[in-house]
Amino acid sequence: MFVLINLIGIVVFLAIAVIFSKDRKAINKRTVGILFAMNIFIGWFLTSFSIGREMIVAAASAFTAVINVSFEGIAFALPNWVNVPQMNFITAALLPLLMIVPLFDILTYIGLLPFVIKWIGKALSILTRAPKFESFYAIEMMFLGNTDAVAVSSLQLQKMKPERCITIAMMSMSCVSAALVGAYIQMMPAEFVLTAIPLNVINALLVVHILQPVEIPPEEDTIVSLDSGEEKLPFFAFLSKSILGAGRLVFIVTCIVIAFVSLAKLIDKALALISPIVSLESILGLIMFPFAWLMGLDYNEAFQLAQFMGTKLITNEFVVMLQAQPVISTFSTHMQCVLTVFVTSFANLGTVGILLGCFNGIVDENKNQLLSKNVKYMILSGIIVSLLSAGIAGLFTW
C-alpha cells in the first residue's frame, strides 16, 4: 500500500511540474523520459543493488576518514573541543570544512576536478540529449556548489540568452557543495546523503526541461569557457585564500544557524500567545503534509516529515539536520531515507537571495530583471527536485 502511494507521489510531483510548465508543447519528452529512467536506475542501483550499496559505503567511509584526519588538526588547536564525550555542532560538522574545502580547491587548482566535471558533463549530455552547457553545469554544481559554479561559468552566462540564464538559476536551487557533504554525514545517514547528490543532479535537469523548455540551436549549444578567466595565483597564496574562504564559510553557517533557530523559537513564542497548541512546526506541517504523505508514510511520520520539510524551505538544511539528528535513529528506514534526501539540497528561500546576488554581479540588467520576475519558478524548481529525489530514493528503501 505505502509503495503504491510512494509511486503515485512521484507521478504527482511530475504532474505539478507539467502543470506549471511555461510551454507544455515545447517539452522534449524524449529527454525527459531518458532523464527520468536514468534517475530510477540510479535510485535502484544505489539503494538496492549490492555493488551500488558497496560504492556508497566506500564513499561514506572515505569522507569519514578525511573528517577523522581533520579532527587531528582541530584537536591540536582546540583539544578541549574534540576530546569530549559529545562534540558540539561547530566542532563535529563545521570545523572539518577548514580542511575539506581547501582539499577540493587544490583538486581544482591542479586541474583534476575541472577535468572530471568536463567529461562527466559531456557523457551526461550524450546520454540524455540535454544541452551541453546545462549538462556540464549540473555536474559542476554537484562538486562546487551553486555560487562557485555560477562564478566559474560567468563568461558563459554573459553570452547566453536570458531564458537559459533562468534555467541555470532554477538548477542552482537543487545542488549541494561536495565540500559540505562531510558536514552533512556527521548529522544524517551517510548512505542517503550520498544517494541524494546524483539524484538531485539528474532531477535538476529533468525539472527545468519541463518547467522552462528552451529550444537551443546547434550553433548555440556550446561551452564558451570552463573557467572565470582569472589569472591563477601562486599555489601557497591560493591555498591561504582557500583556507580563509573556508573560515568565512564556517562563520557564515554558524551565524545563519544561530539566527534561524532563534527566530523560529521567537515565532513559536509569539504563536503560543495565540494558542499553546499552535507552533511554526505545526503550521508548516499542515501545509506540507499532502506532499509528505505521498512519500509513502503513515500519518504520524508523514506529519513529522512535513514539519521538517517546511522548516527546511524557510530556513536551511543545517537547521533541520540539527533538529533531526537526535531522533532520526528512531524513524523507520524509509522515513530516514526520504527525510535525508529531501533536506540534502540548497533549496530554500535564502538561496534565492544568494543566487540573485551572484547573478547581479555577472549578467546585465535585463537578465537580472528577468531573473527577479522568475523567483517563483526558482523556488518551485527546488521544491519539485527535492520531492522527486526523495520519492525516487524512498521507492527502493523500506
3-state secondary structure the chain: CHHHHHHHHHHHHHHHHHHCCCCHHHCCHHHHHHHHHHHHHHHHHHHHCHHHHHHHHHHHHHHHHHHHHHHHHHHHHCHHHHCCCCCCHHHHHHCCHHHHHHHHHHHHHCCHHHHHHHHHHHHHHHHHCCCHHHHHHHHHHHHHCHHHHHHHCHHHHHHCCHHHHHHHHHHHCCCCEHHHHHHHCCCCCHHHHHHHHHHHHHHHHHHHHHHCCCCCCHHHCCCCCCCCCCCCCCHHHHHHHHHHHHHHHHHHHHHHHHHHHHHHHHHHHHHHHHCCCCCHHHHHHHHHHHHHHCCCCCHHHHHHHHHHHHHHHHCCHHHHHHHHCCCHHHCCHHHHHHHHHHHCCCCCHHHHHHHHHHHHCCCCHHHHHHHHHCHHHHHHHHHHHHHHHHHHHHHCCC
Q: How confident is the model at residue 305 (pLDDT cuts 50, 70, 90)?
A: very high
What size, in residues, is the chain?
398
- At 96 the pLDDT is 81
Average pLDDT, the chain: 82
Pick from 315, 268, 261, 307: which is nearest to 287 by CA? Answer: 307
Residue 389 has pLDDT above 90, yes or no: yes
Check: CB of residue 326 under 8 Å from CB of residue 301.
Answer: no
- At 291 the pLDDT is 93
Of 221 and 174, the structure prediction assigns the larger pLDDT to: 174
The stretch 351-368 carries a mean pLDDT of 77
- At 335 the pLDDT is 93
Check: CB of residue 101 under 8 Å from CB of residue 242.
Answer: yes
Residue 86 Cα distances to 67, 80, 89, 231, 257, angstroms: 16, 11, 9, 44, 19
**Percent over 90 (pLDDT), the chain:** 14
- At 228 the pLDDT is 47
Pick from 47, 53, 45: which is nearest to 398 by CA? Answer: 47
194-236, pLDDT tens digit by residue? 888 889 888 988 999 899 887 777 766 676 655 545 567 888 8
57-116, pLDDT tens digit by residue? 787 777 778 878 888 888 888 888 887 776 777 787 678 878 877 887 888 788 787 777
Residue 312 Cα distances to 68, 135, 185, 308, angstroms: 28, 27, 17, 6
Quote the Cα angle for 193-196-198, to 5°. Answer: 125
pTM above 0.85, yes or no: no
- At 160 the pLDDT is 80
Q: Is the dihedral of CA 223, 159, 346, 32 positive or negative?
A: negative
The stretch 145-173 carries a mean pLDDT of 78
Of 183 and 25, the structure prediction assigns the larger pLDDT to: 25
| Count of other CB atoms within 10 angstroms of residue 89 | 18
Q: Tell me how far apart the alpha carbons of residues 310 and 321 are, in angstroms, rounded to a whole number.
A: 13
- At 388 the pLDDT is 94
Cβ neighbors of 337 (< 8 A, separation 6 or more) are 47, 189, 192, 195, 390, 393, 394, 397
**Percent over 70 (pLDDT), the chain:** 94
- At 322 the pLDDT is 84
Check: CB of residue 171 under 8 Å from CB of residue 381.
Answer: yes
Check: CB of residue 205 under 8 Å from CB of residue 129.
Answer: no
How crowded is the C-beta side of 347, counted as CA atoms within 13 Å? Answer: 30
- At 391 the pLDDT is 92
Of 56 and 345, the structure prediction assigns the larger pLDDT to: 345
Of 276 and 4, the structure prediction assigns the larger pLDDT to: 4
- At 210 the pLDDT is 92
47-58, pLDDT tens digit by residue? 887 787 787 778
